[in-house]
Structure 1
Amino acid sequence: MIVAFIIFDHQKSAFMHCDLMSKIRLFTFQYGSIYFNNTINFIINQMFKPQMIENEKEFYCLNKHLQPCSMVLLDQKIEKKQRLWCNECLQNFQADSKIVGLKLIIQNIEEVIKKMQVPQMILLQNTVQKIKLCITSAQDLKTYFMKLFDSIIRTAEDWILNLQAQRQKFNQYSFYDELDDHINKQNRNFESHIKLINNINRSDNKVIKYLSLIQLEQRQIKLVIIL
């Protein structure tokens, strides 16, 4: 035989944990299947209890007798709101249709709903968990790219400052150094400018490579979103 112990929150009519599969904590011992089946029925009754939209106390019978409705006339030809009967209606009942007690028909309806709810709730809960994982992944991706963009902005700003400083060097010269170069027929300043341009070109190539890497990551992200 099997005995199952369940941790359940009666006030909220729901299990304590978020994950549906972890809501039920079963400690099984060899005892018997009867207790196990009773426990499962208890779980279903408490966890998947259907809620009627209408208020049973506001039901009115066909003849508006202002008495509690107690019976239901099972006839498809009759309009759905006219199938409820009270005890006074039964006194003048003349029909071949089947009559069932209101409480019994409500019980039967809710039993059918319960059987449908179990797989639906499990599927919905699993879907919710997957969506939560997607949200977490999106948040992590957002954080990663925020840091990446901040790094790109800082690098670009530093690069601009460096280029502006180098531009000033193009417009500045030392008279004594230039005079010495002129006398010795040398052009060291021109060579330094060429070296500076080459450094700028190398920096430009690094930036282009960096931007290409970002574009590749963007295409990969679009592919992941499409999938």
Structure 2
Amino acid sequence: MFQTKMIELEEQLDCSKNHKQPIQMVILDKKLMREEHLLCSICLENFESDTKIIGFKKVLKMIQENQKNQVENIQRLIEFDVEMVEQFLNELHKLRSYFILLFDELLTNSQEWINSLNAIGQHNSNYSFFDELDKIIDGRIQNQFDQESIVNQITTLNNSLCSKINLQFSALKNQEIYSQCGSILINLNLNHHMKLIDNSIKQSSPCYAISFNQSGTLMVSAYNCDIKIWNFEQGKIGHTSTICCLQFSKLSNSFVSAGFDKSIRCWKQIKQNEWHSSLSYQLHTECIDCLLLNKSETQLVSGSRDKSIKIWKIDLVNNQLTYLYSLDKHTSSVWDLQLNSAEDTLVSCGNDKQIIIWKLNEMEKWQFGYVVIQSIQEVGSRLCFLNDDQFIWVTGNKVSKDCISTFELNNQQYQENLKKEVKLIQNSKDMEFNLFPIFKSKNKNLIIVKHKSYVYVIKVQKEGELKIITQLKYESNCILGALTDDGRYLVTWDNIGQKFTLYELLII
């Protein structure tokens, strides 16, 4: 336990008049400077003021108690890192022992190899006087050299020792032996903002969508043309092509899925391990890349590569959809859709480099509003409302400005606020995929933004200012993820690692 220590000695504290007497009282007045707060017995004889004063010993006790609490908090924070570094040190000792043993074996086998080669040489250098005499008497060619036999002996030896040493080198290069050290270093590198909980769940087939229910007790993930439902037995379902959209209900254990087969399905939990699929609703003519439910979960909005946005009436109780109408102002694929909290504004972006605002009319029907004024003419991959008057947009080109732009409502139109632009890590090698939605946690004022090969954890500060708290680096730009409703857990899947990684967010 760290010990609190006051820099000044109590007996050295003196009043502003330098009476050199013990301090008796303290004046609680913000206007005073350091020693002016302190009163000794001489000061008190002439002291007159309506300002609140308090006993020095009481103030000292209050400060000490406050410092004690502070030290306990410091101790708690430091202990976490000390414990992690101690674990790392233990793992390093294990690795050191492992490597010493492995290198000793490699050195021994290599020396054995040299000794065996020399033994072959020595064996083939020995001769018998009488054997050589017989060769002379028989008239056989002298100095005949049987190269093939010696080469065969060397080759046999080399193959045997190569196989043995290659096995040892494979063990040396095996990444599994570094995994524990790697996990500990990741946790230390996340600076108390995130904690790696698990990264052992493999999924080799492509995963293009993940979603949580409201309580975070169920997670669904796309598994090619199937859906996995976690925390109970897997449920096999019937899309005929890859699924790239999953939207879990916030009001019931139901979800909606869509994907490359151009269809939408509703799913309803019947029993603990049984889920029932609706009919396949196929009115889009190309892959569906985004789904959006309103708060009351009575309306579903879908965006597709067929350039259209379709509005549906949804009934999750009866597990069915009813097509209402289509919005057709985009000239290329629609990548993302978002509603503001008042649900009177819908914003969409896509491959045509447009950001379009849709407004709800008096008939409760969506209609075209206007195209947002923007300085960056790039493909937009994702959107997110920070509040009714602000939303953010993420660039998506391969060669891109690589940034998050903020748009603010100005004279009934959203205009880009260049002062609030957030620079992301430059990357001109990868395209941006729109498969990882922006996730927002209201209670923690956090947003999770994936861009190319990074996942950013961003704090939303006053007036919509964005501050990057930490970032996760992946080897691929094909990353999927989901955040629980309470903002506590983040799950990701990436194409290179082909496994789910679960983090706990420690940000208050």
Query: TM-score w.r.t. structure 2 length?
Result: 0.31
Q: How does 1:51-90 map to 2 (within 5 A)?
A: 51-90=5-44
The aligned residue for residue 108 of structure 1 is: 62
The offset of 1:173, in angstroms, is: 4.1
The aligned residue for residue 121 of structure 1 is: 75
Distance 2:179 2:132 in 1: 56
CA gap 1:201/1:209 in 2 versus in 1, 3 angstroms = same
CA gap 1:181/1:189 in 2 versus in 1, 3 angstroms = farther
The aligned residue for residue 166 of structure 1 is: 120
Query: TM-score w.r.t. structure 1 length?
Result: 0.62
Give the alignment partner of residue 162 of structure 2, picking from 196, 199, 205.
Answer: 205
RMSD across aligned positions (CA): 3.6
The offset of 1:156, in angstroms, is: 1.2
Give the alignment partner of residue 47 of structure 2, picking from 79, 93, 114.
Answer: 93
The offset of 1:68, in angstroms, is: 0.7
Match of 2:23, SS state, is coil
Larger strand proportion of the pair: 2
Q: CA-to-partner distance for each residue in 1:137-174, whole Å, 9 max, x for gaps?
A: 21122112112111211121122111122223444444
Q: CA-to-partner distance for each residue in 1:72-91, whole Å, 9 max, x for gaps?
A: 12222322133211011122
Q: CA-to-partner distance for each residue in 1:171-227, whole Å, 9 max, x for gaps?
A: 444465467679598989445324312223313532552354145237953894464
Whether 1:138 and 2:92 are equivalent positions in the alignment is yes
The aligned residue for residue 290 of structure 2 is: none
The AA in structure 2 aligned to 1:192 is: S
Identity %: 30
The AA in structure 2 aligned to 1:114 is: K
The aligned residue for residue 11 of structure 1 is: none
Indicate if the aligned counterparts of 2:91 and 2:180 stay in contact, CA closer than 8 A.
no
Distance 1:184 1:200 in 2: 34
The aligned residue for residue 252 of structure 2 is: none
Whether 1:147 and 2:101 are equivalent positions in the alignment is yes
State the number of aligned residues: 181
Distance 1:197 1:163 in 2: 7
Indicate if the aligned counterparts of 1:71 and 1:84 stay in contact, CA closer than 8 A.
yes
The offset of 1:60, in angstroms, is: 1.0
- Once structures 1 and 2 are overlaid, which stretch shifts more, 209-218 or 68-77? 209-218
State the structure with bigger RCO (CA 8 A, min sep 6), 1 or 2.
1
CA gap 1:130/1:219 in 2 versus in 1, 3 angstroms = closer
Distance 1:198 1:119 in 2: 67
The offset of 1:61, in angstroms, is: 1.1
Which protein is bigger by CA-based radius of gyration? 1
